[in-house]
Structures are given as C-alpha cells and as structure tokens.
Amino acid sequence: DTAVSQTPKYLVTQMGNDKSIKCEQNLGHDTMYWYKQDSKKFLKIMFSYNNKELIINETVPNRFSPKSPDKAHLNLHINSLELGDSAVYFCASSLWDRSKFFGPGTRLTVL
C-alpha cells in the first residue's frame, strides 16, 4: 500500500510554463509538507499544512502556491517556471511533530 504518493514522478517543461504536482497520503496524518531538494541534496522546507491550514511558508517565490483541498491532499502549483526551479520536490506527511513519511519525489526539469 502506498503511504505518500506524488504525481508525476518526472516533469520536463519549458521556462514560463505553469505546472502542478499532486500529493496524497493515506496514513491519516494531519500535517503535510513540500520540500525542495537541490543538486547538492539539501532538503529545504517550502510549505507545511496542518489540518488544511498553512502553518509554514518559508521564503519561497509567490510563483509557488500550495493548495490543500483536504487533509489527505497537498498540491503544489508553480507559475512562470524558471531554470532555477529545476530540482526534486518531495511531499511528506506526519502526525504533527512526529516522524515524517516522504513521497517518492517529483523530478522537475525546466528547459
């Protein structure tokens, strides 16, 4: 059974386009996250939602907009994609401040 799933796994797109990444968790967790992992493998928190409420919004360009339709889903929409947005994006979930469960990642390549 998949715990945290993300789609798509790979996303290749042109600069200036708008794209979305979807995330779903079936663990009954109340908190979901988006992380960005760069080429050096640093994991950087972008957003966190607790019970559909935004609780963490790190210094991220406002081209990035998360949306949580319910506790089990947290989607990430990116407008006007730039070269520097190329990275692996991980969705994760947890029970509040407990251990996190990560999805398999979405590798975004902006050409």
Partner 1 sequence: GENVEQHPSTLSVQEGDSAVIKCTYSDSASNYFPWYKQELGKGPQLIIDIRSNVGEKKDQRIAVTLNKTAKHFSLHITETQPEDSAVYFCAAITSGTYKYIFGTGTRLKVLA
Asked if 56 is part of the footprint of partner 1 (rule: CB under 8 A), the reply reads yes
Which of 32, 103, 108, 110 is the binder for partner 1 (CB under 8 A)? 103
DSSP string over 22-57: EEEE-S--SEEEEEEE-TT--EEEEEEEETTEEEEE
**Which of 48, 68, 75, 93 touches partner 1 by CB under 8 A?**
48
Closest CB 105 distance from partner 1, rounded Å: 5
Which residue is it, tokens 């979930």? 93
Could you tell me the smallest distance in angstroms from the CB atom of residue 83 to partner 1? 22
**Closest CA relative to residue 31, chosen from 19, 45, 17:** 45
Strand bridging mode 106-110 / 10-13: parallel
Which chain residues interact with partner 1 by CB under 8 A?
4, 40-43, 45, 48, 55-56, 90, 92, 97, 99-105
